[in-house]
Homo-oligomer: A and B are copies of this chain.
Amino acid sequence: MKTRVLEAADLTHLLEAVGRHELMDLMIERLGARFLDHEADAVEVRARDGFRYDKPDLGLVEWMPTHEKGGPVVIKMVGYHPTNPVQRGLPSVIATSSMWDTVTGHLVAIADATLLTALRTGAASGLATELLAKEGPIVVGLAGLGAQAVTQLHAISRVREVDQVIGFDSDPEVAATFIDRVGFLGLDVHVGGPERAATIMGDVDVLCTCTSVDIGAGPVIVDGKTRPWLHVNAVGADFPGKVELPSSFSNRAFVVPDTLEQCLLEGECQQVSSDQIGPALSDLMQRRDEFIGHRQQITVFDSTGWAVEDDVALRLAVELAREHGIGTDIAIERLPQNPYDPYGRS
């Protein structure tokens, strides 16, 4: 039995073969279909768990397991090492996803998930924006201009006409390359300095917060007067004590978690009173008529990263790789001809 391996170069190849826009559109479509179908009883998700350490630098390796009944088991493994970009020229998030068949226990596929994570996080914000943001054209704000900002903006541009983009980053070197990195979107992008933290909220229709703010160091933007329909995709908070939004703001918004339990532990919901927290995004999508009116209100999508999204992303990547003949099949597991003979010929 073979395992389909999607290496780094395979993902690049897939990106070129499918096209960035088509890939993002497919990710939004598949994620949307899964959210619309989602039944809590049919999916098991284990709370994200991991090993955290502070030597030589702060970091963690964590696992996000999920199992849709009758489907495969999918686990994403994530390394989060915030000093990677500056110290080592590596992304802060490095991830792989793996899929197991639940008939035999066979490892069906393993793939880079660094790109897939950025894509699915973008796609989730795309879905939230489509449902909750004012209709286009819109002005988009970005707090934090790292890797996630690219796919946040990309996904939003696939669900709304974008008139203008205003972004800032605390690191001028990161800010300096942003316009180039999102050049493929052909948008009107303005990059400011950290002082934009004080004003950005009032100038945009949709805001994405996607920073690597330290635990306890948030919020990353200053509360102030906003447009009455401001929608925020809060993407960066993913650890106890880590938040990006001022609580005075999120407590006057309608807050939509990706998955409530995790958001209460690691997301903006940590600092939001329970009467401001609405149903999860998948519930909202299933009851669209009931919530479409929220486009006129202040809303926050609290996106901590749901294992179900990684399941969707890996399945889509494996499916597209098969279609395009991309990837390698290797026999990782040693399966002796006589299953009772561990030393026997395989």
For A151, the chain B residues whose CB sits under 8 A away are 342
With A63-B65, A330-B7, A339-B85 in contact, is A100–B79 under 8 Å at CB? yes
Is A333 a contact of B8 with CB atoms below 8 Å?
yes
Give the 8 A-B CB pairs with smallest separation, nearest first: A79-B105, A118-B342, A8-B334, A51-B67, A91-B339, A61-B73, A112-B334, A85-B339
Q: Is A160 an interface residue (CB 8 A)?
A: no
Rounded to whole angstroms, the CA-CA distance of A51 and B75 in the bound complex is: 11
CA A9 to CA B114, docked complex, whole Å: 29
- List chain A positions with a Cβ less than 8 A from chain B: 1, 5-9, 11-12, 15, 20, 44, 46, 49, 51, 53, 55-57, 59, 61, 63, 65, 67, 69-70, 73, 75, 77-81, 84-85, 88-96, 98, 100, 102-107, 110-112, 114-115, 118-119, 145-148, 150-151, 174, 177-178, 181, 184, 330-336, 338-346
Beyond the given pairs A63-B75, A79-B104, A114-B333, 14 more chain A to chain B contacts, judged by CB atoms under 8 angstroms and listed by A's residue number, are A5-B330, A7-B330, A49-B65, A51-B102, A53-B67, A57-B103, A61-B102, A77-B107, A79-B105, A84-B105, A114-B334, A118-B342, A147-B341, A151-B342
Question: Chain B residues near A61 (CB, 8 Å)?
Answer: 67, 73, 100, 102, 105
Instruction: Determine the distance from Cα of A92 to Cα of B336 in the docked complex, in whole angstroms.
Output: 12
Main secondary structure on A side of the interface with B: mixed
Q: Which residues of B contact A100 (CB under 8 A)?
A: 61, 77, 79
**Nearest-Cβ distance from residue A11 to partner chain B, whole angstroms:** 5
Q: Which of A80, A105, A106 has the most CB of B within 10 A?
A: A105
Stoichiometry (number of copies):
2
**Are A181 and B104 closer than 8 Å at their CB atoms?**
no
Please, how many angstroms separate the alpha-carbon atoms of A91 and B1 in the complex? 12
CB pair B96 A73 closer than 8 Å: no
When the two chains form the complex, which single residue of B90, B107, B344 contacts A335, counting CB atoms closer than 8 Å? B90
Q: Report Cα–Cα, A184/B344, bound state, in Å.
A: 11
Q: Smallest distance from the beta carbon of A292 to chain B beta carbons, Å? A: 31
Q: Given the complex, which residues of B lie within 8 Å of A80, measured CB to CB? A: 105
Cβ contact of A94, chosen from B51, B79, B104, B147, cutoff 8 A: B104
Are A339 and B7 CB-contacts (below 8 A) given A77-B75, A334-B112? no
Asked if residues A81 and B103 are in contact (CB atoms below 8 Å), the reply is yes
List the B residue with the shortest CB-CB distance to A15. Answer: B343
List chain B residues, Cβ under 8 A from A342: 91, 114-115, 118-119, 147-148, 150-151
